[in-house]
């Protein structure tokens, strides 16, 4: 059987239909043609080098058939495969149609190697033209061929993905396959239509020669890995040569800059807290002196204490602690924290204790869920991280105790928060003796109700109220601290939403703690004391929600 060949043929010019010419015009054209023929005869001779070169450029016979599967995902004006088709260098295979030769495809199990040359010479070489952005959703099962191969490590030279490893166009992939199989001249001919074509071969020449000198796929992979290891070693040696250690003066300047920035942040935080406390007190002219003091205590004093503690720390310098801490082995890159033990891991996130800039802290990280779609999972984690930050900031403005946010990593969905020393409300309740149980539960409910009413009055709904999401700071009931605002919502909050928030808390308390009647009574009393008008509207909605819950329990 004869081999099918691809030829480089210049496209014929499509002229317009000839119009009727005058006799005078025909005579003038004949005179011009005669003069041109005379000039050609005088300047060129038969069999000269110029004629041979021009004929060689016009037509070149490839040693076998070159083809392409086209999924129509690329821009036709920039698609290298379409350009090869227009130049009549390759042919197109319809999707679903079987190609008798070897296909360079992402579905290949083995790497292309020179030992594939006899098969390709007999049956041809084919590539797949699809977008790298859509490759995971491309129906590659429509590419049918007896042999599928992968290409080894190469670097793209096209204008879209220049410098990216393995992101080759179909023209680059075809040329690389030809070069590895030993058809170097064919590879150069194939890349002539592109301005960057020769640069691709020059850029990857060392690798292409290494692969072409191998025989089996295993040898190609070995040569690839040895090359990459050598490149990595050269990069490391080069970086060590130029990465000089900083001088003592540079280190001092860096420390001074870091200290200045830290002090600046503390001052801004201090001023902001002072403004918030004054603003909170000026919201209502009828607010009592006790409540004004509470606002200053909960909003302004924590920042003032942090500021004063920092200057005390700098004056003492604490040399013993600084010598004992080995930051080279315990500090993670990107933060200044030292990881310790995992405190808690729930369904949505894990909480790990750490040391951040010399103070005790915790890292809360929301991890991805394998059963969720990756895009949905990313959006949910980012949205809940944002909600948590906004919820804690809003709660602090309303005078409710929450952990201080030290650092935010939006990419990893990590928060570095203040470590609150003290038991959770759930554990604290479990340790109460029977003699003081009812009294302490009612007292706890009153504090909880008052804080919850402040949140609701300020337009903030927690969304996940349980006794596990509350901490008694230093074991003090008056310093009840709320955590986990990931499901919070704020804005124009309706009585329905506030009632649902109370109902969730009520069901959590009843299902977790025995004899919770005193706690719930104290809860409603504390809620009512803050704002009776709000209490009346929310209590009415809460009763409706309870009835709906009972009906659902009866029906199932």
Q: What would the mean pLDDT of 345-353 be, rounded to a whole number?
A: 82
Closest CA to 64 of 97, 100, 94: 100
User: Which residues fall within 8 angstroms of residue 31, CB to CB, at 6 or more apart?
Assistant: none
Domain spans, the chain: 66-235, 338-418, 425-553
Rounded to whole angstroms, the Cα distance separating 416 from 472 reads 20
Residue 33 burial (CB count, 10 A): 10
338-to-189, 286, 356, 361 alpha-carbon distances in Å: 59, 47, 7, 9
For residue 144, CA distances in Å to 95, 100, 309 come to 8, 9, 71
To the question of whether residue 271 is assigned a binding role by annotation, the answer is no
What is the architecture of the domain spanning 425-553?
Orthogonal Bundle (1.10)
pLDDT in tens, 221-275: 999 999 888 888 887 776 555 444 454 444 455 556 666 666 666 677 666 666 6
Q: Binning pLDDT at 50, 70 and 90, where does residue 152 land? A: very high
Partner residues linked to 356 by β-bridges: 337, 359
Give the pLDDT of residue 55.
Answer: 44
CATH of 338-418, one of 3.30.200.20, 3.40.50.620, 3.40.50.300, 1.10.1660.10: 3.30.200.20
In this model, does residue 184 exceed pLDDT 60?
Answer: yes
**Residue 282 annotated as binding site:** no
The mean pLDDT of the chain is: 77
Confidence band (pLDDT; 50, 70, 90) for 302? low
Distance of CA 518 to the CA centre of its chain: 48
The Cα-based distances of 406 to 58, 262, 349, 351 in angstroms read 70, 12, 18, 15
Is 160 marked as binding a ligand? Answer: no
CA 427 – CA 246 distance, rounded (Å): 51
Please answer whether residues 417 and 364 qualify as being in contact, where contact means their C-beta atoms are separated by less than 8 angstroms: yes
Question: Phi and psi at residue 448, in whole multiples of 5°?
Answer: -65, -45
Where residue 348 falls (left for φ over 0; alpha for ψ -120 to 50; beta otherwise) is alpha
- State how far the alpha carbon of 92 is from the alpha carbons of 217, 250, 417, in Å: 28, 63, 60
């Amino acid at each position: 059987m004869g081999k099918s060949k691809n030829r480089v043929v210049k496209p014929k010019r499509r002229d317009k239909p000839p119009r009727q010419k005058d006799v005078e015009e025909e005579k003038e054209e004949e005179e011009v043609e005669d003069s041109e023929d005379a000039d050609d005869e005088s300047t060129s001779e038969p069999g000269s080098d110029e004629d041979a070169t021009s004929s060689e450029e016009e037509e070149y016979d490839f040693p076998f058939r070159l083809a392409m599967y086209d999924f129509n995902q690329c821009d036709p004006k920039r698609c290298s495969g379409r350009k090869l088709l227009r130049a009549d260098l390759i042919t197109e295979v319809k999707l679903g149609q079987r190609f008798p030769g070897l296909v360079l495809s992402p579905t290949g199990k083995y790497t292309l190697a020179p030992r594939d040359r006899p098969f390709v010479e007999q049956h041809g070489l084919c590539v797949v033209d699809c977008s790298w952005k859509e490759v995971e959703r491309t129906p590659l099962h429509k590419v049918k061929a007896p042999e599928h191969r992968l290409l080894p490590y190469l670097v793209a030279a096209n204008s879209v993905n220049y410098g990216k490893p393995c992101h080759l166009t179909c023209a680059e992939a075809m040329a690389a396959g030809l070069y590895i199989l030993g058809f170097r001249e064919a590879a150069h001919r194939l890349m002539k239509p592109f301005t960057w074509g020769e640069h691709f071969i020059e850029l990857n020449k060392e690798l292409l020669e290494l692969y072409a000198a191998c025989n089996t796929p295993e040898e190609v992979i070995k040569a690839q890995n040895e090359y990459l290891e050598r490149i990595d070693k050269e990069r490391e040696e080069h970086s060590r040569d130029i990465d000089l250690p900083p001088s003592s003066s540079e280190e001092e300047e860096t420390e001074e800059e870091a200290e200045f920035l830290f002090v600046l942040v503390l001052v801004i935080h201090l001023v902001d807290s002072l403004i918030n406390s004054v603003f909170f007190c000026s919201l209502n002219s009828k607010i009592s002196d006790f409540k004004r003091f509470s606002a200053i205590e909960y909003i302004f004093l924590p920042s003032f204490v942090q500021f004063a503690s920092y200057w005390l720390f700098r004056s003492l310098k604490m040399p013993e602690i600084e010598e004992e801490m080995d930051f080279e082995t315990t500090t993670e890159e990107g933060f200044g924290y030292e990881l310790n033990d995992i405190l808690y891991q729930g369904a949505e996130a894990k909480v790990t204790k750490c040391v951040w800039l010399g103070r005790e802290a915790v890292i809360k990280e929301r991890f991805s869920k394998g059963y969720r779609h990756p895009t949905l999972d990313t959006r949910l984690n980012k949205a809940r991280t944002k909600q948590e930050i906004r919820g804690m900031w809003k709660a602090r403005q309303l005078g409710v105790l929450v952990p201080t946010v030290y650092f935010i990593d939006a990419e990893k969905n990590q928060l570095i928060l203040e470590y609150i020393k003290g038991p959770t409300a759930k554990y604290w309740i479990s340790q109460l003796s029977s003699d003081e149980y009812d009294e302490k539960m009612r007292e706890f409910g009153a504090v909880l109700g008052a804080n919850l009413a402040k949140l609701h009055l300020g337009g903030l709904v927690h969304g996940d109220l349980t006794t596990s999401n509350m901490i008694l700071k230093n074991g003090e009931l008056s310093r009840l601290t709320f955590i986990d605002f990931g499901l919070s919502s704020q804005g124009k909050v309706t009585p329905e939403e506030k009632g649902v928030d109370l109902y969730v808390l009520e069901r959590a308390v009843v299902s977790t703690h025995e004899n919770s009647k005193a706690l719930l009574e104290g809860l409603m009393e504390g809620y009512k004391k803050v704002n009776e008008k709000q209490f009346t509207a929310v209590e009415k909605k809460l009763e409706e929600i309870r009835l709906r819950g009972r009906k659902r329990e009866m029906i199932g």
